[in-house]
Amino acid sequence: MDRLTIFGLCAVTAMLVCYALEKRSPWFILAFAASCMLGSVYGFLQGAWPFGLVEAIWSMVAVRRWRLVRSSS
């Protein structure tokens, strides 16, 4: 495994863990957004720009959800 593959594996693992823990704290929603952005970077670096684009959009959606949850509490 090269460094780029390990980076992608870590990004996607962080996304999975943060998504699973979102109900525990709004901060996991923000962490999910950050890990989606890392997944986006990975997608663009490996040349899979559709994956990078979708992950960037997911990151923006998660930041919006985080803001909504924070303002409602």
Closest by alpha carbon to 8, among 35, 44, 39, 53? 39
Contact assessment for residue 9 and residue 26, using Cβ atoms and an 8 Å cutoff: no
Closest by alpha carbon to 15, among 50, 59, 52? 59
CA-atom Rg of the chain in angstroms: 13
pLDDT band at 73 (very low <50, low <70, confident <90, very high): confident
Per the structure block, which two tokens stand in for 51? 């994956």
Could you read off the pLDDT of 6-64 as tens digits, one per residue? 999 999 999 999 999 999 999 999 999 999 999 999 999 999 999 999 999 999 999 99
Contact assessment for residue 42 and residue 11, using Cβ atoms and an 8 Å cutoff: yes
